[in-house]
Amino acid sequence: MEDIKEVIQYCKIRNVKTHLTLNTLIKNSEFEDSIKVVKAAYEAGIDAIIVQDLGLAKFIMEHFPDLPVHASTQMTAHNLQGVLELEKLGFKRIVLSRELSINEIEYICQNTNVEIETFIHGALCICYSGQCLFSSVVGGRSANRGKCAGPCRLPYELLSQNDETKQINTLGKGYLLSPKDLCGLAYLPRLIRAGVKCFKIEGRMKSPEYVATVTRIYRKYIDMVLNEEEFLIDEKDVNDLMQAFNRGGFSNGHLDSKPNKQLIFPEKPSNIGIYLGKVKKFNGNKGHITLTLEEDLHVGDSISVARESSTYFVSELMNKNANLKSACIGDTVTIGRMKGNIGVGDKIYRISSKSLTDKAKSSYENVENIKIPLNCVVTIKKDVPIKMEIFTSNELCSNTIYHNVRFEICSNIVPIEALKTPISVERVVTQISKTNNTPYVFQNITVLLDDGLYVPSISTLNDLRRKALEKLEEQVMEKTRRKPIVLEQKKEETITYIPVMEHPKISLFLRELHKDYDYSQLSKDKINRIYLALKLFVNKEYEDIITYLAENYNLYIYMPSIIKANYKNIILNSLDNITTKFNIKGFVISNLGDFEFLENYHHNYDFVGNYSLNVFNNHTLEEYKKIGVNQITLSRELNFESLNEILKISNLDTELIVYGNLPIMATNYCFLGKTNFCYPDCGSSCSKNNTYYLKDRLRLQV
C-alpha cells in the first residue's frame, strides 16, 4: 500500500489519473481485506476502482460514494442491455467485451449516458472475459481470480468424428485457440466520434519499453483525431508496434463487421517479431548464418530462428569485407555465434530492436515528459526579503488540481547594494527557469527588481524556486487527499438459513431434446424444475415434448450467456410466443443484461441466477436478490469450504451444479469456419452429422 500511495502522488502531481484494478472475484473470507485495500487507495487519492465482483462494487458505491466504480470487461457487458443495467446499478464507466464490432459499440454509445471504454491494442482472449473456466477446470487456476494459466496458448488438434461411420478426421493442428494481438489504430477516428471515452491497451506483464512504445504511438494518433488533423497512419509506426510485440502479425479483432478469417495465428503463441529473411547458408562449425535482409539489423538486436525456442543476441555482424555495426534492407550479411537446430531455408525474425528499445528508454529514463505550466513574480527590493509568487494559468489548468492555485513564499535573504555588477533581470529569469528535473515549467516570469542590487548568493534563487515548487506540490496534493472514512465494525452474523439436504430439490437442465425419448420416464416426485435451452423452444419439432414438460413440471427458459445485438428483437419476439404458448414458470438469468432484457417479465416469472453470474460471496448474492433473483446457482469455481461460508448466512435459495457435461468457454470464434462471423461459403460443417473435438498435447479431448 505504501507503493500505491507513492504511485498515486507521483501521478497526481503530473495531473495523471490512477485507477486501481480489483477486478477479481472475492471470497467471503477475503472481503474485509479487499475493503482495506479500497480504503487505503481511496484516502491516498485514487481516481477510480475497476471491479468485477458485483458485491464488492456495490459495497464501494455505498461506503465510498465519491469514488467512481468502473465495470471490468470481466463483467461481460456485450450488449446495450448489459450496459444499461450496469449504469442503473451505479457504475460510472463500463469496459465493453472485446468481442463487439464498431457498429455495436456505436449503438451502445448512442443509447447510454455512462462512460464507455474499449480495448484498442494488445493480447486478445479467445473467450469472453468473465465466461472462461478453461484454466480453472483443467489446472485449478482461475481466470476470474487473476490466475489464468493461458491454456488457450497451447497446441491442439481439431478432430471430426462422423457419427454414422465413427471415422475420425483431423481438421487442423497448432495453436488453434491463440488469437493474434489486436491493433485498432485505424478505428480511432470512428470510435472517438462514437463517444468512446477511454481506450485500453493490454500491457500486463509487458516490459517498460513495450508500454513506452505503444502508448507513444496511440497518443500520437488520438491527438491527431482530437486536433482534427488529416488522419494518415505512418507505416513506420505500425512497424514499431509490430516490433514491440506481435503474434504472427496483428488483426482488427472483432471491430470489423465483416468476418475476420485472420483472428488466429496457429504457428506460434508468443512474440514472433519481424521477419528478417531466410537462412541462405549455415556453417555449424563456425556458428555462422548468412541471409539477405528484409529489415534493417543492428548489433544489439535480438533474433530468433524458426525451429529454435530460444532467442539470440546479435553480437557479431559481418559482410565479406568487415565487421559491421549495422546493415540495411537488401544487404547480404553473416551473423556469428549461432548454434542450435538451424538449417538452410529456416525463417529468421528480429525479436527486438536496439534502436527502438533505446528510443523507448530515453522517453522515461531520467527525463520528465510532463510539464505543468506556471507563472511567477519574483520581487527583489531594497531592504526587503526576496519573495516569489506562483500562480497557474486557469486557461491551461482548468478542470485540473492546478486550477486557481496562487501563493507567495519569502526568502530570509535581503538583497544588498551592489559594489560592482548588480544582478540583472535576465540572470534572475535564468535561475528561476531551471526546472529540468521537475514536472513544472515557468511559462511567464515577471521580475520586479530595484536598480543597483546584488544577491549575496545566487543559490538563494535556486533555494527559493525549490521551496516554492515543494509548497506547490503540497498544496495540490492536499486537494486530492480525502478524509479518512470510518467503516462500521461488522456485527457478528447469525445463521439465517440452513439448507435441508435430506430431501434436496433437483433442477434438470436439458441442452438438447430427443424425439424418440419418452419424457414421461422423468420422475415428477424427484425433479423440481426443468430448464430448457432457449433455442429448443423455437424448434417446432419439439412442440409436443415441451408442452408435456410444461404441463407436468416447473418449466424455465434457460437464457444464453451471450446475446448479441442482432438477435435482440428475434429473441424478444420468440419469448412473447413461448410464454403465450407454454406454461412457463420463469427464466434462468445468465448475464446481467438479462434483467434489462426481460424487464417486462420480471413481476410474473421467477428469476434463477445462473452460475455464469459468478456469485462468489454473500454480498454479491444479496445484490442479486435486491434486483429480483429468487434463487441463485453458485459459481462452479467455489470449493467446499467457500460454499459452506456462503450457505451458513445465505437468506436466498441456492443451487449447485453436481452433474453434467459443462461448458468451459463462451467464444465468438468458430473453429470450423475459422472466423468470428458466419459467412455463406464456410461449408456449414456445424450443421452436418458430425461431432467435433479439440485434443490437447496430453491427448485429452475437450
Pairing of strands 274-278, 323-324: unpaired
Q: What's residue 499's pLDDT?
A: 55
* pLDDT tens track for 408-436: 999 999 999 988 889 999 999 999 999 98
Q: What's residue 203's pLDDT?
A: 84
Pairing of strands 387-392, 372-380: antiparallel
What number does CATH give the domain 2-122+173-251?
Answer: 3.20.20.380
Are the beta carbons of 202 and 121 closer than 8 angstroms? yes
What number does CATH give the domain 274-362?
Answer: 2.40.30.10
Total-model pTM: 0.93
* pLDDT tens track for 65-83: 999 999 999 999 999 999 9
> Which amino acid is located at 7 in the chain?
V
Q: What's residue 697's pLDDT?
A: 85
| Average confidence (pLDDT) over 292-305 | 96
> Nearest-CA neighbor of 276 among 262, 289, 291, 290?
291
pLDDT at 494 > cutoff 60: no
* pLDDT tens track for 376-388: 999 999 999 999 9
Take residue 213 and report the three cell numbers written for it.
512504445
Residue 579 backbone dihedrals phi, psi, to 5 degrees? -70, -25
Q: What's residue 490's pLDDT?
A: 62
Reported confidence tier of residue 310, pLDDT bands at 50, 70, 90: confident
Distance of CA 337 to the CA centre of its chain: 40
| Average confidence (pLDDT) over 77-106 | 98
Q: What's residue 687's pLDDT?
A: 80
Q: What's residue 488's pLDDT?
A: 77
Mean pLDDT of the chain: 93
Give 380's strand partners.
449
Q: What's residue 493's pLDDT?
A: 53
pLDDT at 357 > cutoff 70: yes
* pLDDT tens track for 548-559: 999 999 999 999
Q: What's residue 501's pLDDT?
A: 59
| Average confidence (pLDDT) over 193-197 | 97
Reported confidence tier of residue 437, pLDDT bands at 50, 70, 90: confident
Are the beta carbons of 456 and 388 closer than 8 angstroms? no
Q: What's residue 323's pLDDT?
A: 93
pLDDT at 492 > cutoff 70: no
> Nearest-CA neighbor of 550 among 514, 580, 590, 594?
580
The pLDDT > 90 percentage for the chain reads 81
Which range (266-275, 280-289, 482-491, 659-668) has the least confidence? 482-491
Give 556's strand partners.
531, 586
* pLDDT tens track for 571-612: 989 999 999 999 999 999 999 999 999 999 989 999 999 999
How is 259-320 classified by DSSP, letter by letter?
--TTSB--S-SS---EEEEE-SEEETTTTEEEEE-SS-EETT-EEEETT-SSEEE---EE-S
Q: What's residue 309's pLDDT?
A: 83
Spans of all domains in the chain? 2-122+173-251, 125-172+670-702, 274-362, 372-480, 506-655
| Average confidence (pLDDT) over 99-111 | 97
pLDDT at 496 > cutoff 80: no
